[in-house]
């Protein structure tokens, strides 16, 4: 009888430990991002819409967290020197990628009403997902950049060189 009580007690203790044990949580890591990329921005326009069919850029520093950028976007043809825009993109590094969307409120503003004109971009990128070392990534990155447009006429099809800088912190698991 004593032996059965010891076994029953051991089983009861083991069972209660299984229910009260807390699972190990993955440590959250912060990844500092400060990368400048340069490349080509291809777009077309109609009377009312600007469609960015391709954004392709690279970092000059191979030691940067992210070394390449791809993306697409769209904006209304501006009635003044500024317009809001939206888009999606991917930043790729040696140890993984992040996919992002341009957050509401992004602006592209021309330095003049007529082309050629420098267009300055001010936006935030909200991280949607990540792969590799950035799996489970979350965060918002600031985006500042510019490109020179040659024409603003409807029916324009251009490829312009751009420079853009992403800064901020990512949280990964």
Handedness of CA 14, 18, 19, 25 (dihedral sign): positive
Q: What is the DSSP letter of 133?
A: G
* pLDDT, tens digit (0-9, with 9 covering 90-100), for 118-157: 999 999 999 999 999 999 999 999 999 999 999 888 899 9
Which residue ranges in the chain fall short of pLDDT 50?
1-22
Please tell me the pTM assigned to this model: 0.82
Q: What is the pLDDT of residue 111?
A: 86
Q: What is the pLDDT of residue 33?
A: 96
Q: Which tokens sit at 123?
A: 């936006």
Q: 3 CB contacts (<8 Å, ≥6 apart)?
A: none
């Amino acid at each position: 009888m004593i032996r059965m009580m010891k076994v029953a007690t051991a089983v009861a203790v083991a069972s209660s430990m299984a229910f009260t044990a807390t699972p190990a949580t993955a440590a959250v890591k912060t990844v500092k991002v400060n990368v400048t990329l340069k490349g080509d921005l291809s777009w077309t326009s109609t009377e009312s819409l600007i469609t960015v069919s391709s954004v392709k850029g690279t970092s000059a520093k191979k030691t940067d967290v992210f070394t390449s950028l791809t993306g697409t976007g769209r904006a209304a043809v501006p009635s003044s020197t500024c317009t809001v825009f939206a888009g999606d993109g991917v930043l790729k590094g040696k140890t993984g990628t992040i996919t992002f969307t341009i957050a509401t409120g992004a602006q592209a503003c021309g330095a003049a009403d007529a082309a050629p004109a420098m267009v300055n971009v001010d936006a935030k990128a909200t991280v949607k997902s990540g792969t590799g070392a950035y799996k489970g990534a979350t965060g918002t990155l600031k985006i500042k950049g510019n490109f020179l447009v040659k024409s603003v006429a409807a029916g324009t099809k251009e490829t312009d060189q751009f420079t853009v800088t992403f800064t901020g912190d990512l949280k990964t698991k």
